[in-house]
Amino acid sequence: MGRRRMSARFPDFPWDTIAAAKARAASHAEGIVDLSIGSPVDDSPALAQQALTRAANAPGYPTVSGPESLRQAAADYLARRFGVQGLDTSAVLPTIGSKELIANLPAQLGLGGDDLIVVPELAYPTYEVGARYAGCEVVAADSTVALGPRMPALIYLNSPANPHGQVLGVDHLRKVVDWARDRGTLVVSDECYLEFGWDAEPISVLHPDVCGDSHDGIIALHSASKRSSLAGYRDAMVVGDRSVVHELLEVRKHLGFMQPSPVAAAMEAVLGDDAHVDTQRELYRARRATLRAALEAAGFRIEHSEGSLYLWASRVVDGCGENGRATLDWLADRGILVAPGDFYGPGGAEFVRIAFMATDERIAAAASRLA
């Protein structure tokens, strides 16, 4: 049997489909304002750079489990910042960014063609990609009621959510956890934006108000990319159910998924410090306010966007939401590049996702062009 074509296994890479809009935006006389990707632009914290430099002499292999001190820093951070209790170092595993973990998670857990994975109706595309990579069936559903008697192997949660910034409340999260536990379904909560709640207060799925006094059947994903402007370092972690974390550890030992020692040192440093996160939050808060006001004045409707680092916007034309691809072109004519909402599911067809992760100067330029 020959190899399956890549196109048969995965959807098209979304950003390849907006190349023409990017070229149009780049031709603007005052340059492009790229708000399409959630990539930090502010300097990585000095304490991370210093820790990386101190650990730069790393001739030996790192361990897959990572240093005990890093795992303790992670447990302390989640307790201090989000009230996660009872998490010890055996329930923490560093990863090489969160995207690689999401993409490999179903396969590394041994899931395959007989297994069903549930993703949100509007979702980060890598959830589906990882499921397809493992050969699993994928269903997009925001309500467990819609699944009927079906027994998923794994269900993804994402709050605050990418793309639309919705923050799930404690009652909703608790119901999903209870439903999943009754069926032996693993809950995977992507919490990479948990530091960024604006109009609502996010809560971790590992908080006792959600899961009680046990983390059984739950894992959460956290990353330093957004909270600490370390996307280029590729440092994240999975925490929660010890048995699941241990299984991932054993598989990743065989596969050689090791976080580099200097990166682990930098991650440990930022997890121990809250001041730089609070400073970064205020930068994002101001950029969000500037961009939201300009969009609304230009006739856009903002939905959800209670958290995360994006505005979920629909351009209203004749009282109706415009198709997101038309909005993409309208903005590109003004030198602004965004992500069309259909990247994230059919329900996003009338929306665009607009990141406010750009410099103050570029955010101001976007606001001026919208005016």
d(CA 229, CA 43): 7
Q: What is the mean pLDDT of residues 159-178?
A: 98
Q: What is the mean pLDDT of residues 143-170?
A: 92
Q: What is the mean pLDDT of residues 133-145?
A: 92
The answer to whether residue 16 scores a pLDDT higher than 90 is no
Burial category of 29 from C-beta neighbours within 10 Å (exposed 0-12, middle 13-18, buried 19 and up): exposed
Give residue-wise pLDDT tens across range 36-88. Answer: 999 999 999 999 999 999 999 999 999 999 999 999 999 999 999 999 999 99
The answer to whether residue 4 scores a pLDDT higher than 70 is no
8-state DSSP, 220: E
- Asked if residues 154 and 173 have their Cβ atoms less than 8 Å apart, the reply is no
The pLDDT value given to residue 5: 52
As a whole number, the mean pLDDT across the chain is 95
In this structure, how many other beta carbons lie within 10 angstroms of the beta carbon of residue 209? Answer: 12
Q: What does the angle CA 250 – CA 253 – CA 258 come to, to the nearest 5 degrees?
A: 130
CATH number of this structure's domain 46-273: 3.40.640.10
Q: What's the predicted TM-score (pTM) here?
A: 0.94
Q: Where are the beta strands (DSSP E) in 104-235?
A: 116-119, 137-140, 154-158, 186-190, 218-223
Question: Residue ranges of the domains in the chain?
Answer: 7-36+276-370, 46-273
At residue 177 the predicted structure's pLDDT band, cuts being 50, 70 and 90, is very high
Q: What is the mean pLDDT of residues 171-179?
A: 97
The answer to whether residue 135 scores a pLDDT higher than 50 is yes
- Coil, strand or helix: which one is 236? strand
Q: Is the peptide bond before 160 cis (omega within 30 degrees of 0)?
A: yes
The pLDDT value given to residue 168: 98
In this structure, how many other beta carbons lie within 10 angstroms of the beta carbon of residue 247? Answer: 14
8-state DSSP, 42: S
In this structure, how many other beta carbons lie within 10 angstroms of the beta carbon of residue 96? Answer: 18
The pLDDT value given to residue 348: 96
Give residue-wise pLDDT tens across range 321-341. Answer: 999 999 999 999 999 999 999
At residue 144 the predicted structure's pLDDT band, cuts being 50, 70 and 90, is confident
- Asked if residues 117 and 141 have their Cβ atoms less than 8 Å apart, the reply is no
The pLDDT value given to residue 150: 82
At residue 11 the predicted structure's pLDDT band, cuts being 50, 70 and 90, is low
The pLDDT value given to residue 1: 40
Higher pLDDT, 16 or 227: 227
- Asked if residues 64 and 253 have their Cβ atoms less than 8 Å apart, the reply is yes
For residue 320, the cross-strand partners are 317
At residue 8 the predicted structure's pLDDT band, cuts being 50, 70 and 90, is low
Element spanning 315, H or E: strand 310-317
d(CA 155, CA 202): 19
The answer to whether residue 6 scores a pLDDT higher than 50 is no
Q: Do 7-36+276-370 and 46-273 agree at the fold level?
A: no
- Of all residues in the chain, what percent carry a pLDDT higher than 90? 92
Q: Which CATH number fits domain 7-36+276-370: 3.20.20.80, 3.90.1150.10, 1.20.1250.20, 1.20.1270.10?
A: 3.90.1150.10
The pLDDT value given to residue 294: 98
